[in-house]
Amino acid sequence: MSNWLEENDLFIDPQRCIGCRACEAACAECGTHRGVPMIHLEPLNRPDSVKTAPTLCMHCDDPACAAVCPADAIKRTDDGVVQSSMKPRCIGCSNCQIACPFGVPKVYRARAQMNKCDMCYDRTSINLKPMCATVCPSEAIFFGPKSVIESQRKNKANNQFIFGKQKITTKVHIMMDASDEPVELDIMDFISTTIEDSQPWVV
Amino acid sequence: MQEPIEKRLKEKFKEIPKWAEDFPIDQNRDSNVSRRDFVRYLGLVSLGFFAGTTGVWLKSIFDRKQKHIYQSMKIIDKEDLKIGESYVFEIPDIKEPAILMRLDQEKFIAFGQKCTHLQCPVIWKKDERILFCPCHKGAFNGLTGDVLYGPPERPLPKLKIEVRADGVYFAGMERGELV
């Protein structure tokens, strides 16, 4: 294994995302998942805003998707990249889709298999950057050493998230406003504010 | 890179449980049996079976061509076996059981005792004059050794018997082979 993946990390800065979908197009170009992008561009609050955030696999140190997989189909490599499901093993049960706190895995019903971002392992294992990071025009997705991005930007890279009692450390970093403390996330907070603020069904 | 998973499992179960070792999350500890390896294994195993059975077949052809030469031996005194009774004895150099019947004053007849179906010992039924195998209810003609009914398909091997003045003697095979 090369130390390319140990020297470099992937950083996501949702504030910089301009919603151009270049990352989706680039991801779909990849030969290992022909035509289907493994990166999702999530609209944050569609009724009120055009704001989007790129969602790709966070590559947890202790991946929940692999822990719940009944078919033993999701594996993590030595350099910490959680792979997409293995075709001969995956049974398409969507346990991983339910377990992932970041909402990354997606089961494709037509082929009865889960596919997700594997940080372009075909490229990163031979010292190339992931597709999305090479095309992102605003560097909302950045691949490089942590020291470089911290010297270039004001905000801090964070890779620890707290969901209830569980603290999750990931390989992929998210750029936060001037704080590298672990981020506490409660999904209900986001849902309730979204519903109260927008109420798109009320005329 | 394996520490976080092992730490979580140790906190929860005190030691890493067997299922976690059997189904590891880390790729390098996983046992990946590819389809090609599995087919190769199947091919080798079936080739081994084929070679083994071919060897047994060749050995049986070789053995069939070799005639065993039996030593003549005394089985029993004439007076010790009553008419209509049977006597089980062993042929010493090959350690095979055989059964001797006395039909009348001078007529003795002997067969190998192993049933030709699954080698259970046959027993002499005096009234019906058959050699009966109780395992699967097979029966042989007590005078010729031919199959009367039941699962066996080959007759019992017949022994050559010589009645001399001092006793009944075994003198080789009349039909079939014991080994």
pLDDT tens digits, one per residue of B48-71: 999 999 999 999 888 877 777 888
The predicted-structure confidence for B65-111, as pLDDT tens digits, reads as follows 777 788 888 888 888 888 989 999 998 888 899 999 998 888 899 99
Count Cα neighbours of B127 within 13 Å in the Cβ-side half-sphere.
0
Q: Is B23 on the interface with A (CB under 8 A)?
A: yes
The helix or strand, by DSSP H or E, that contains position A34, with its residue range, turns out to be none
pLDDT-wise least confident of A11-25, A119-133, A154-168:
A154-168
The predicted-structure confidence for A31-68, as pLDDT tens digits, reads as follows 888 788 999 898 887 888 888 999 999 999 989 999 99
Number of A/B CB contacts below 8 angstroms equals 34
Residue B44 has pLDDT above 80, yes or no: yes
Residue A191 has pLDDT above 80, yes or no: no
List Cβ neighbours of B155 (8 Å cut-off, separation of 6 or more).
Answer: B116, B140, B144, B145, B146, B147, B175, B176
Residue A178 has pLDDT above 80, yes or no: no
The predicted-structure confidence for B144-166, as pLDDT tens digits, reads as follows 999 999 999 999 999 999 998 88
Count Cα neighbours of B112 within 13 Å in the Cβ-side half-sphere.
23
List Cβ neighbours of A27 (8 Å cut-off, separation of 6 or more).
Answer: A33, A37, A38, A39, A117, A131, A132
Which residues in chain B are closer than 8 Å to A96, comparing Cβ atoms? Answer: none
Position A128 scores a pLDDT of 92
The predicted-structure confidence for A100-135, as pLDDT tens digits, reads as follows 988 899 999 888 899 999 999 989 989 999 999 999
Summary mean pLDDT of chain A: 86
Residue A193 has pLDDT above 80, yes or no: no
Summary mean pLDDT of chain B: 88
Q: Is A170 on the interface with B (CB under 8 A)?
A: no
Contact assignment for A63 to B30 by CB distance below 8 Å: no
How much is the average pLDDT of A82-93? 91
Q: Is B36 on the interface with A (CB under 8 A)?
A: no
Q: Which residues pair with A60 in a beta bridge?
A: A170
Amino acid (one-letter) located at B36: R
Could you say which of B3, B25, B30 has the minimum Cβ distance to residue A67? B25
Which residues in chain B are closer than 8 Å to A75, comparing Cβ atoms? Answer: 25-27, 30
What interface predicted TM-score (ipTM) does this complex get?
0.70
Which residues in chain B are closer than 8 Å to A95, comparing Cβ atoms? Answer: none
Contact assignment for B25 to A80 by CB distance below 8 Å: no
Q: Is B11 on the interface with A (CB under 8 A)?
A: no
10 Å Cβ neighbour count for A154?
8
- Distance (Å) from the C-alpha of residue A26 to the closest C-alpha of chain B? 27
Residue A86 has pLDDT above 70, yes or no: yes
Position A107 scores a pLDDT of 93
With b for 16 or more beta-carbon neighbours within 10 A and e for fewer, the B4-33 pattern comes to: bbeeebeeeeeeeeeebeeebbbbeeeeee
Amino acid (one-letter) located at A63: P
Q: Note if the pTM is more than 0.90.
A: no
Which residues in chain A are closer than 8 Å to B35, comparing Cβ atoms? Answer: 88
User: In angstroms, what is the C-alpha Rg of chain A?
Assistant: 17
Length of chain B: 179
Burial of A56 (0-12, 13-18, 19+ CB in 10 A): buried
Residue A199 has pLDDT above 80, yes or no: no
Contact assignment for A63 to B25 by CB distance below 8 Å: yes
Which residues in chain B are closer than 8 Å to A72, comparing Cβ atoms? Answer: 23, 30
Contact B12, A166 (CB under 8 A): no
